[in-house]
């Protein structure tokens, strides 16, 4: 498993990087890759998103960009304090995208366990939940059985920014973060556990 780390990336630049790596994986020139990054504040609309799910584009005077992306799912927020894990994985052997999503959820659930947070799956939708609140969102895309996009984990984002959208299309799905739950872990501490579990889950 190859790891790529960015302190922060503009969202369009991240998409371009993923497109290049997917092509390289298909060509057999690079191995499966996990990108760990962060984005400036942005609302991203997946293939199932409705424009009406973006309620506001300015929160407390701060403008938030809106970007239509090719991943599955609805509208999500990305911003500082949120760890983005893009998983570019060849699943040609299994050809099972649902299994890939479950592995992404397991990656977060196992990482949260290391910080004494019990994350679970919920029938309301994919992702990871804690006490009925969503702490991680999953959105993926697949090209010739190579996956891209991935999962976002709320470590310490500005949760007010989520008020500008209907997160993942669910009006009754408030969000939470590790810091809101009283776990003041740093991004570096979380990344260390993410990388450990990724090497076990994505063999």
Tally helices (H) and strands (E) across the chain: 3, 12
Residues contacting 147, CB < 8 A, separation 6+: 87, 88, 89, 91, 97, 100, 140, 141
| Cβ neighbours, 10 Å, residue 19 | 14
Asked if residue 186 lies in contact with residue 156, where contact means CB atoms within 8 angstroms, the answer is: no
Distances from the Cα of 102 to the Cαs of 92, 110, 127, 148, in angstroms?
16, 12, 9, 14
Asked if residue 133 lies in contact with residue 174, where contact means CB atoms within 8 angstroms, the answer is: yes
CA angle 1, 8, 113 (to 5 degrees): 55
The token duo for 164 is 């500008």
Choosing from 49, 89, 168, 190, which is the catalytic residue? 168
Residues forming a β-bridge with 146: 90, 143
CA angle 120, 39, 173 (to 5 degrees): 35
168 assigned to active site = yes
Catalytic (active-site) positions:
168
């Amino acid at each position: 498993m190859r790891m790529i780390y960015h302190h922060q990336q503009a969202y369009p630049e991240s998409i371009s990087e993923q497109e290049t790596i997917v092509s390289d994986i298909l060509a057999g020139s690079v191995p499966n890759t996990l990108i760990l990054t962060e984005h400036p504040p942005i609302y991203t609309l997946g293939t199932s998103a409705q424009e009406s799910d973006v309620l506001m584009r300015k929160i407390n005077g701060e403008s938030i960009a809106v970007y239509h992306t090719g991943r599955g799912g609805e509208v999500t927020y990305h911003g500082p304090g949120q760890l983005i894990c893009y998983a570019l994985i060849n699943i040609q052997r299994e050809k099972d995208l649902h299994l890939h999503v479950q592995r992404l959820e397991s990656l977060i659930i196992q990482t949260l366990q290391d910080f004494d947070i019990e994350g679970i799956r919920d029938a309301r939708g994919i992702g990871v939940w804690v006490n009925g609140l969503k702490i991680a969102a999953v959105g993926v895309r697949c090209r010739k059985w190579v996956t891209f996009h991935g999962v976002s984990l709320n470590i310490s984002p500005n949760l007010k920014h989520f008020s500008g959208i209907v997160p993942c299309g669910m009006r009754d799905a408030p969000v939470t973060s590790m810091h809101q739950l009283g776990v003041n872990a740093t991004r570096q501490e979380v990344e260390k556990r993410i990388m450990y579990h990724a090497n076990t889950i994505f063999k």
